[in-house]
Amino acid sequence: MAKGTTKAEADKLRKQASDLADQGRYSEALALLTQALERYQAVLEADHPLIVLMHNDIAQQYFNLGDLKNSESHYKLMLTCSQSSFAALSRLEANDKNIPAFVGTELNNLAALYFKQGRWTESVEIFERALTIQLSTIGSDHPEYARTLNNLGVVLASDNNLERAEQCYGQALKIRKQALGENHKDYAMSLHNLGRLKTCQGNYIEARSYLNKALNIRKRVLTENHPEIAASYFGMGELALSQGQASKAVEYHQKALELRLKVLGSNNTEAGASYFALGAAAEKLGNIDQARQSYAQALKIRNDVLGSNHRDTRKTVLALALVNGNSQLLTKI
């Protein structure tokens, strides 16, 4: 097969995969990306930028599906394929003008993976390096800069640094509104994250406003089975439970879980979060058997995907121990 034809086919596969990923069809996107990588590898040098970007794209789809091990494997391949990226990461020369702009994106994705793995300190450090690189390469009004700000905000919020998280979310929202408009899924994501943060702060009126706006945008611009719609249901469930509306919380979390199982499968962090949330809501309602079953399912997923030492896994062990009245399990925490 002619070299140009092979690359053209790979380019087409990559474009199709990108469209599928935008629709939340991550498994299908991954299959096409794997085929595209094979075609690129047949005609390009191992350190060609397209090879680097393909490993990044594949890692991202594994990340979306909750397969953190394969995601990390491809991120490592990405780094070893690209001397410029590897040098930038290993020497941490964030002010080097020769660093290509895509290194900021690579760092962003790697930091998001570390966060999922529970490596929070490393995650924050890498996000901050990514922002420094992006500031000098693409500027502070670029959507990729906003994406890094948003991701850093997620880590900070999870660590209860709500004030700084709100600053990151607010800045990302402003950039996305100007660069992408108010009818874009990334703008909806910023609204959603602000809504979840307001729930944590107890500002329920503001939380509902943000979450409703995000959900309405997502329903307009995304396919009905998109995982980000499930995330909106999850956020609404969190708000309902915080307001003492446990029955309503169960309804939202069940919708989120059903959609996540349909689109992402059962063995991923998002499904684990939904099972845990359902356990908490059932416990509030006094449905101890249901709470026990949901916590146990969450624990199985989190042990498999995150490992026994991850904070979310340990949190689930504690919840299950308390609902069982089993003090022996507490020794595992």
- Please state, in angstroms and rounded to a whole number, the distance separating the CA atoms of residues 40 and 42: 5
pLDDT at residue 125 in the model:
93
Q: Which amino acid is at 20?
A: L
For residue 325, report the phi and psi dihedrals to the nearest 5 degrees.
65, 30
pLDDT at 214 over 80: yes
For residue 309, report the phi and psi dihedrals to the nearest 5 degrees.
-95, -5
Q: Show the tokens assigned to 46.
A: 């191992």
pLDDT at residue 91 in the model:
46
Mean pLDDT computed over 279-298:
97
pLDDT in tens, 133-186: 899 889 999 999 999 999 999 999 999 999 999 999 999 999 999 999 999 999
Average pLDDT, the chain: 89
This prediction's pTM:
0.86
pLDDT in tens, 66-107: 888 889 888 877 766 655 544 544 444 444 445 566 778 888
Domains defined for the chain, CATH in brackets: 1-81 (1.25.40.10), 269-333 (no CATH)
- 319 or 99, which is more confident? 319
pLDDT at residue 104 in the model:
82
- Please state, in angstroms and rounded to a whole number, the distance separating the CA atoms of residues 83 and 105: 16
pLDDT at residue 103 in the model:
75
For residue 239, report the phi and psi dihedrals to the nearest 5 degrees.
-60, -45
Mean pLDDT computed over 33-56:
85
Among 134-143, 208-217, 272-281, name the one with the lowest average pLDDT: 134-143
Burial (Cβ within 10 Å: 0-12, 13-18, ≥19) of residue 262? exposed
pLDDT at 309 over 90: yes
Burial (Cβ within 10 Å: 0-12, 13-18, ≥19) of residue 291? buried
- The per-residue DSSP string of 277-324 comes to HHHHHHHHTT-HHHHHHHHHHHHHHHHHHH-TTSHHHHHHHHHHHHHH
pLDDT in tens, 33-42: 999 999 988 8
Among 27-41, 132-146, 253-267, 314-328, name the one with the lowest average pLDDT: 314-328
Of the ranges 1-15, 44-58, 185-199, which is most confident? 185-199
pLDDT at 299 over 70: yes
Q: Which amino acid is at 110?
A: L
